A = this chain, B = another copy of it.
């Protein structure tokens, strides 16, 4: 089996070969800047991994994978505006470095680039790919709207939170894997199994992100810990802690962001929220693995290894 890092390298190489036009500079410079910031490239790697393991030939897998990555970056540029995030990966976000108007329009044109990449796939796959992509893109928007709606709500239930991250994050992983299945001409049952696997592993992946934000190794995670707590963002951890009677409101007032994070780490652990959330992560991880039961063992192993990589990662 080709390792994940090889698929990621293929995507990085393709991104380097993607040349945006020179003009209008205010439209395309932000895209050059944003892709230079880097990224995990896990989603498109999933498409390539799936396609290779099911014997897809030709370039459709690469074009479909690129569509996923371009779309993902479009959504990040627009989400950063809506979240009023000043930084991404330690650098200024597009709307901070330029302005909101430029970030809106650069995002829009990047969205088109995603469809352009998809349109390069073999014609026989196009209708299936496009339908799944449209459904997924719609759901990602719905998830982002739910996330924004949560900001102004007093309480959010665990089920609502899971539905939000399913839409905002997980469906795109499902889509990425099913893209690989479509260009490998797998039957609809296998396609569904792989999509469901992607969706569940995506939920586990996001829960892992929530945990890393508070309990990760700051050196490995590459950013200050506890950003979610500092911003008062609702996550699986804070939702559960609140249910257990422990809120970040209670651990206020504190003298600094550092001590707020330290107390959240301690209180969320003591009340049992950390353990509960870790259990839920494993629950969705296992649900994902269950979706693989019909796969031939050789392919199943590839997805199992990838799942372990996602869930036991330290950044």
Interface residues of A, Cβ cutoff 8 Å to B: 21, 23-24, 26-27, 78, 81-82, 100-102, 104-105, 108-109, 111-113, 115-116, 118-119, 123, 126-127, 130-131, 133-134, 137-138, 141-142, 144-146, 148-149
Contact = CB atoms under 8 A, between A and B. Distances in A.
A116 B21 CA distance: 27
Contacts of A109: 137-138, 141-142
Contact of A145 (B27, B111, B116, B131): B27
Given A78-B104, A111-B111, 20 more contacts: A21-B142, A24-B149, A27-B142, A27-B145, A81-B104, A82-B105, A102-B145, A105-B145, A105-B148, A108-B111, A109-B142, A112-B138, A112-B141, A113-B138, A115-B115, A115-B130, A115-B134, A116-B134, A119-B131, A123-B127
Contact of A26 (B21, B130, B138, B145): B145
Q: Which 5 A-B pairs have the closest CB atoms?
A: A109-B141, A27-B145, A24-B145, A82-B101, A112-B137
A131 B116 CA distance: 7
A108 B24 CA distance: 21
A24 to B, nearest CB: 4
A81 B101 contact: yes
Contacts of A100: 81, 100
A73 to B, nearest CB: 14
17 contacts: A21-B142, A24-B146, A27-B142, A27-B145, A81-B100, A82-B104, A102-B148, A105-B141, A109-B138, A111-B111, A112-B141, A113-B138, A115-B133, A119-B130, A123-B127, A126-B127, A126-B130
Contacts of A104: 78, 81-82, 104
A102 B82 CA distance: 8
Contacts of A26: 145, 148-149
Given A104-B78, A126-B127, A134 B146 contact: no
Given A105-B82, A119-B131, A126-B130, A142 B24 contact: yes
A172 to B, nearest CB: 13
Nearest to A121: B127
Contacts of A113: 138
A116 B118 CA distance: 14
A288 to B, nearest CB: 26
A47 B23 CA distance: 30
A116 B116 CA distance: 15
A26 to B, nearest CB: 6
Contacts of A102: 145, 148
A144 B104 CA distance: 11
A130 B121 CA distance: 12
Nearest to A144: B105
B127 A119 contact: yes
A119 B145 contact: no
